[in-house]
Amino acid sequence: MSLTNLSQVLLRNSDLLLAKYPLLFNMPADELINEMLSKNPTSQLNCFTNNFEQYQQYKNFNSERFNCIFSAEYQANIIHDLVIINFPKSKLELKFTLAMLSACTNKDSRILVVGENKSGIKSIDKLTKEYFSFCQKVDSARHCLLVEAQLLAPDTEFNLQDWFHHYQINVNNNQLKVAALPGVFSQAKLDIGTKVLLESLDKLTTTTDNSKVLDFGCGAGVIACFIGLKNSNAALHLTDVSALALTSAKQTLALNGLSGEVFATNSLSNIREQYQHIVSNPPFHQGIKTNYLATESFLQGIKPHLSIDGKLTVVANSFLQYKSIIEKSLNKTQLLNKKNGFTVYQAENSKRKK
């Protein structure tokens, strides 16, 4: 198994990796895990991730001294003497992470933060003044930066509820309350693409009465809740790769007096049922790099999960050529809306030929 650039930089500084209770926080699931277990033969290594794809990869490692956790919140009954953090794409998520870790670290815990140069890690000292007693550069290699720091004792205990950002949206006179954690897509406000999609759904929601609806890549659950508020009999299913998104979606459902089945999936890995309507503003970013593969795999493989005459409705940047991908699997693909650089497509799983 190969080493990512992040892990290579860490192993260049192996003296900093000696610990009894190390914690890897959202780090890639690569050979670094075996290296950490080898360098610390009496240690108990914990790996935490809020990414389900990464969690599935962690589960390939088999050791009694290794434990992997998938959640939106890390909780532990031990004090970690070493925490290694993958610098997140969201600056607010970094502060969220540091506040969370204060409960399982102390003044003697070594904090290492590693990230690609273009991730924004170079500004870490300015971002963390309220969290670190000191923060210093350790190494720079493989287009990555490694920083060592020490956490300040917090003034208050960490409370997950304090980190939800709440806002309201109004689309075509339909009001919806939203709650989102740091790192969740559209955490601060409704994004343009989803707004264009909701404007289109407002004309189509009668088709979802008494139907099973899947919000794929649900984020904070805006799409599913919009449908649920207009169709009280719709069975809502919401899925995402991010534990932060799933926790936010549950909160958004509750705020709007709705219920639904919320579950994790890596692309289509945990999609087991058939739906009358699948709706999505599918992500095409992974980390700090643009990545279309997950969405293309979703579009290519979604047909078995649509009932006969079931409909797929997606919104995407207009420059993305998703229509041709959809048409390879589904019939009757039509353009529902094109506005502000986004296009809404709908396709039907029909037995009839095109």
pLDDT tens-digit series, residues 232-265: 899 999 999 999 999 999 999 999 999 999 999 9
Check if the beta carbon of residue 333 is closer than 8 Å to that of residue 345: yes
Whether the predicted pLDDT of 286 surpasses 80: no
Collapsing DSSP to helix, strand or coil, 200 comes out as helix
Whether the predicted pLDDT of 331 surpasses 80: no
Residues 154 and 206 in one domain: no
Q: Identify the DSSP state of 40.
A: S
Residues 59 and 111 in one domain: yes
Residues 260 and 330 in one domain: yes
Quick one: pLDDT band at residue 74, thresholds 50, 70, 90? very high
Nearest to 210 by CA among 231, 230, 229, 227: 231
Residues 182 and 67 in one domain: no
Check if the beta carbon of residue 187 is closer than 8 Å to that of residue 219: no
Q: Give pLDDT, residue 292.
A: 63
Q: Is residue 94 part of a domain?
A: yes
Whether the predicted pLDDT of 207 surpasses 80: no
Collapsing DSSP to helix, strand or coil, 314 comes out as strand
Collapsing DSSP to helix, strand or coil, 298 comes out as helix
Q: Is residue 322 part of a domain?
A: yes
Residues 139 and 269 in one domain: no
Q: Is residue 353 part of a domain?
A: no
Residues 136 and 183 in one domain: no
Q: How many domains does the chain have?
A: 2
Q: Which amino acid is at 67?
A: N
Question: Is 199 exposed, middle or buried (CB count within 10 Å of its CB: 0-12, 13-18, 19+)?
Answer: middle
Q: Is residue 354 part of a domain?
A: no
Whether the predicted pLDDT of 289 surpasses 50: no
Residues 150 and 183 in one domain: no
Residues 172 and 148 in one domain: no
Last residue of a domain, one of 136, 160, 184: 160
pLDDT digits (tens, 9 = 90+) for 33-60: 999 999 999 999 999 999 999 999 999 9
Residue 305, domain CATH: 3.40.50.150
CA separation (Å) from 5 to 9, 68, 85? 6, 22, 14
Last residue of a domain, one of 114, 136, 160: 160
pLDDT digits (tens, 9 = 90+) for 156-196: 999 999 999 999 999 989 999 999 999 999 899 999 999 99
Residues 251 and 145 in one domain: no
Q: Give pLDDT, residue 296.
A: 82
Query: What is the percentage of the chain residues whose pLDDT exceeds 70?
Result: 94
- Domain span including residue 312: 164-348
Q: Is residue 221 part of a domain?
A: yes
Residues 204 and 82 in one domain: no
Whether the predicted pLDDT of 80 surpasses 70: yes
Residues 123 and 227 in one domain: no
> Cα(313)–Cα(233) distance, rounded to whole angstroms?
19
Mean pLDDT of the 119-132 span: 94
Residues 342 and 193 in one domain: yes
Task: With 0.75 as the threshold, say if the pTM is over it.
Answer: yes
Last residue of a domain, one of 160, 175, 191: 160
